[in-house]
Amino acid sequence: MRDFIRFIIKYHFAILFLIIELVCLLLVFNYNAYQRSTFLSSSNALTGGIFKSYNAGAEYLMLREINEDLARENAYLRSRLPESFRASKDYFTLVYDSLSMQEYIYRSARVINNSTNKRFNYLTLNKGRLNGIEPEMGVISNKGAVGIVKNVSDNYSTVISIINTRLKISAKLKESGFFGSVEWDGSSYQYVYLLDIPRHAEVNVGDLVVTSGYSSIFPEGILLGNVENVELEKGASFYRIKVKLSVDFKNLSFVEIIGHSSVDEQIKLEKETEDD
Amino acid sequence: MISYLPRYLFNFVFFTLIQVLVLNNIQLSGYVNPYLYVLFIITLPFETPGWLLLLLGFTSGMVVDLFSNTPGMHASATVFVSFLRPYVLRLFAPREEYQPGTIPTMAYYGLGWFFRYAAILVLGHHLFLFFIEVFSLTHFFSTLLRALSSTVFTLLLIIVAQLFSQGKKQGR
């Protein structure tokens, strides 16, 4: 102890200098927006760059599966082409008018960071504000819904994934049309829970659970998963339905971000109604 | 030591006011911003203890910061200069040591000694300040150029200020 004090006395000038200089630098970073943002963004650029190159490697290893997925999606999309429908002139007419304007716009992006083992899981995508991404947009993969965009920077965006206990998504049973909300309980990344389905609804194991389209974030009918098992506690009036997610969050590389072109209009109208 | 107090109090207020009211508004061709207030630290008495030196450095920098709305930037540079000062003084100590009752000014030790001594400290201050201000190495040489040209200009002002105080002293 005495040595320690002697050391401090001997070097008090240098120690005091370091302390005061540290205080100064703290002031600089806390109260000067420019230095702070440079400091933060350089660290972000570093982490972003590391994630990106890590991902480039990981993606290469998963090429086979990605190819399969893309091929499957291609096949599905081909089946939706006009050529794959039989044109029956008797009752089918295509009218190009302004009423059938495009409602949802899709932009593809790559997942460059992803977590599944926390309570609050987020993804990072390689597109941001410059690519037209905005907060509150829905994110889906070719297998189903993934999450909702939380924050965007110029070139990156973060997404709250469905397996985040802070996120609730409005969903419904595809067969019967009963709707409720999907929540994650924080345990397994493969399962979420569908709540608020009344007990008189008919639910079978294997039923598809899709987005309801009420929230204006996702279009109606995006797949979430299928019913794994159905619980009904004694005296409860709502089911607690365990849903196996269709998206494998451990294996996610390409996603699509959904922009809703008339979202402002819908929210404005809903707010007006609430205020009345 | 106490007898120095009014003189340095005046120096402190005077240089700070000159700095924030006049010199902060001068920006010659985007490269040159003189920072005369360092002269306060430079001319403090030889016997000033280290801790006081650092605290005075912090205070003078902080006051300028408050006026120019850049908390911590000038303070960190002046603290750095206060830290350098004892070592620079030791480096330039004359053969017969510093005389008691003198202060490190041009009047006592001549233009040559004072210029070398002040040049190192001002250069240290300006380099530190400009690099903290830019806070990146991307424009390294343009920052370096700004620091160097400002150093020249500040030194010029310092010499002029010293000549003035010298004249006053001889007049008395």
Q: Would you kindly state where each structural domain of chain A is located, as residue ranges?
A: 2-61, 99-263
The C-alpha R_g of chain A, in whole angstroms, comes to 25
Of B51, B57, B73, the CB nearest to A28: B73
Residue with tokens 């927006």: A33
Our CA-based measurement puts residue A28 at a distance from the nearest CA of chain B, in whole angstroms, of: 5
> What pLDDT is stored for residue B80 in this prediction?
93
- Reported as a single tens digit per residue, the pLDDT across A48-79 is 777 778 888 877 888 888 888 887 888 778 76
> What pLDDT is stored for residue A28 in this prediction?
85
Number of domains within chain B:
1
Beta partners for residue A103, in sequence order = none
Q: The tokens of A183 are what?
A: 């929540």
Q: Is residue B32 part of a domain?
A: yes
> What pLDDT is stored for residue B171 in this prediction?
37
Q: Where is A86: in which H helix or E strand?
A: none
Q: Do A34 and B70 touch (CB under 8 A)?
A: no
pLDDT higher than 50, residue A220: yes
pTM, entire model: 0.49
> What pLDDT is stored for residue A43 in this prediction?
64
* E strands in chain A: 104-114, 120-125, 138-141, 144-152, 157-164, 169-173, 179-183, 191-198, 208-211, 223-231, 238-245, 254-260
> What pLDDT is stored for residue A185 in this prediction?
86
Chain B residues with CB inside 8 Å of A28's CB?
Answer: 70-73, 76, 132
Distance CA B161, CA B25 (A): 19
* Average pLDDT of the segment spanning B50-64: 91
Which pLDDT band holds residue A99 (cuts at 50, 70, 90)? low
The domain containing residue B135 runs over which residues?
4-86+98-165
Asked whether A157 and A146 are in contact (CB, 8 A), the reply is no
More reliable by pLDDT, B52 or A214: B52
> What pLDDT is stored for residue A245 in this prediction?
92
- The residue type of A23 is V
Q: Where is A225: in which H helix or E strand?
A: strand A223-231
Burial of A143 (0-12, 13-18, 19+ CB in 10 A): middle
Checking B165-168 for CB contacts under 8 A at 24+ apart, the result is B165/B105, B165/B107, B166/B105, B166/B106, B166/B107
Percent of chain B with pLDDT over 90: 31
Q: Do B72 and A13 touch (CB under 8 A)?
A: no
> What pLDDT is stored for residue B172 in this prediction?
36
- Cα B99 to the center of its chain, rounded Å: 22
Residue with tokens 């160097």: B148
Q: Is residue B135 part of a domain?
A: yes
* Lowest-confidence segment of A72-86, A111-125, A185-199, B6-20 by average pLDDT: A72-86
State how far the alpha carbon of A261 is from the alpha carbons of A61, A244, B60, in Å.
Answer: 37, 31, 57
> What pLDDT is stored for residue A130 in this prediction?
87
- Reported as a single tens digit per residue, the pLDDT across A27-49 is 888 877 777 766 666 666 777 77
- The residue type of B140 is F
> What pLDDT is stored for residue B38 in this prediction?
92
Which residue from A111, A80, A122 is spatially nearest to A255, judged by alpha carbons?
A111
Using a CB–CB cutoff of 8 Å, tell me whether B73 touches chain A. Answer: yes
Which pLDDT band holds residue A96 (cuts at 50, 70, 90)? low
> Per this entry, what is the length of chain A?
276
pLDDT higher than 60, residue A195: yes
Q: Do B135 and A25 touch (CB under 8 A)?
A: no
> What pLDDT is stored for residue A100 in this prediction?
54
Output the CA torsion A142→A147→A151→A153 (10° steps): -10
pLDDT higher than 80, residue A134: yes
> What pLDDT is stored for residue B92 in this prediction?
87
Which pLDDT band holds residue B170 (cuts at 50, 70, 90)? very low
Distance CA B154, CA B148 (A): 10
* Lowest-confidence segment of A150-154, A191-195, A263-267 by average pLDDT: A263-267
- Reported as a single tens digit per residue, the pLDDT across B8-27 is 888 898 888 888 888 877 77
* Lowest-confidence segment of A63-77, B37-51, B141-155 by average pLDDT: A63-77
Output the CA torsion A5→A7→A12→A13 (10° steps): 170
Chain A residues with CB inside 8 Å of B79's CB?
Answer: 17, 20-21, 24
**If contacts are CB pairs under 8 Å, which of residues 133-152 in chain B contact chain A?**
135-136
Q: Is residue B72 part of a domain?
A: yes
Which residue from B32, B37, B101 is spatially nearest to B65, judged by alpha carbons?
B37
What lies within 8 Å, CB to CB, of A185 at 6+ separation is A165, A192, A193
- Reported as a single tens digit per residue, the pLDDT across B95-113 is 878 888 788 888 888 888 9
CATH of the domain at B130: 1.10.1760
Chain B residues with CB inside 8 Å of A25's CB?
Answer: 72, 76
More reliable by pLDDT, A262 or A207: A207
Beta partners for residue A145, in sequence order = A140
Which CATH code is given to the segment(s) A99-263? 2.40.10.340
What lies within 8 Å, CB to CB, of A58 at 6+ separation is none
Of B51, B79, B135, the CB nearest to A24: B79
